[in-house]
Amino acid sequence: MVRPARESRSPSARLRARFEEHRLTPTQRRIAQFLIENAQQAAYLSSNEVAELANVSQASVTRLAIALGFEGYPQLRRYVRELDLASPPAGDDTSRNELQHAVAGEIANLRRLESQLADRDTVRRAATLLAGTRPLPVLGLRASRPVAHYFAYFAAKVLPDVRLLPDGGTSLGDGLEQARAAGASALLVFALPRYPRETVAAMRAARDLGLQLVTLTDSELAPVADLADVVLPAAVGSQLVFDSQAAPMLLAMVLLQEICAVEPGSTQHRLEAFERSAAARQIFEP
């Protein structure tokens, strides 16, 4: 048996990377997400047990393994087990504490984002859709709300009508309908774990209204990915009690940078107008 070379990424991170190399069906994504979140346990589960825990059929588990290039589920399970065995024991690195490991995980996420942005076509496509919509509705519920708010705050400096949708309930449907009636052609969705059902329902409602969806989420395997016209993935950190969102926050600003590049003249005009207004109102300390 040849084991994978040891590396700093966790078995779950390496397993996620393997899955993202393939285009999976929604059911296969559900199984993949279960395996990612339970990598150590899954290394010793049968296909029947995985199917039961992921609430899918055993045949779906087998089809996932074949889609990934394995002969069947036993070979996929062996691969997952080898990933776990290749991980350094907990005591291998005594120079770092758990907080440093969490920061190292975020650095790895940022490096992955850097590599991903070598191909700018996807983010440019997203920027073109969002630069062309008036108004621009921005949806972000629960854990996604801070990133959506951060994006919307700065986007309002360069775009004429940005409408933040940070709350669920019936008012969310009102906001979508009002944006569409005002001329919106696209919706920017921030959908980071855990994925609220209201976000999924709002995305479906937006599609029914004729809006195109740009979705910034943590993975192309996320359950919201199939509803989006453009998916922008940026991994979240999961080594602390609550997720950290350094990579999604940076990707949000990268997206805004590309939106500004679509119409640089109007962007500069609005920035200069804001600076004059801010100076006149003495908003900031000199």
Mean pLDDT of the chain: 89
Tell me the pLDDT band of 220, cut-offs 50, 70 and 90. Answer: confident
In what helix (H) or strand (E) does residue 137 lie, and over which residues does it extend? strand 136-140
CB 69 within 8 A of CB 36: no
**What are the backbone dihedrals phi and psi of residue 191, each rounded to the nearest 5 degrees, phi first?**
-135, 85
Q: What is the reported pLDDT for 18? A: 85
How does strand 162-165 pair with strand 212-217?
unpaired
| CA–CA dist 59, 122 (Å, integer) | 33
pLDDT tens for 221-248 read: 888 999 999 999 999 987 787 889 999 9
pLDDT tens for 94-149 read: 567 778 878 888 998 899 899 999 999 999 999 999 999 999 999 999 999 999 99
In the predicted model, is pLDDT for residue 92 greater than 60? no
* Nearest-10 Cα torsion for 153, 155, 158, 160: -90
User: How many whole angstroms from its chain centre is CA 177?
Assistant: 25
pLDDT tens for 19-61 read: 888 878 878 888 988 888 888 788 888 898 899 888 899 999 9
Q: Is the peptide bond before 194 cis (omega within 30 degrees of 0)?
A: yes
Q: What is the reported pLDDT for 100? A: 85
Q: What is the reported pLDDT for 6? A: 45
Tell me the pLDDT band of 3, cut-offs 50, 70 and 90. Answer: very low
CB 138 within 8 A of CB 188: yes
* Nearest-10 Cα torsion for 84, 88, 89, 95: -150
Tell me the pLDDT band of 86, cut-offs 50, 70 and 90. Answer: low
Q: What is the reported pLDDT for 89? A: 47
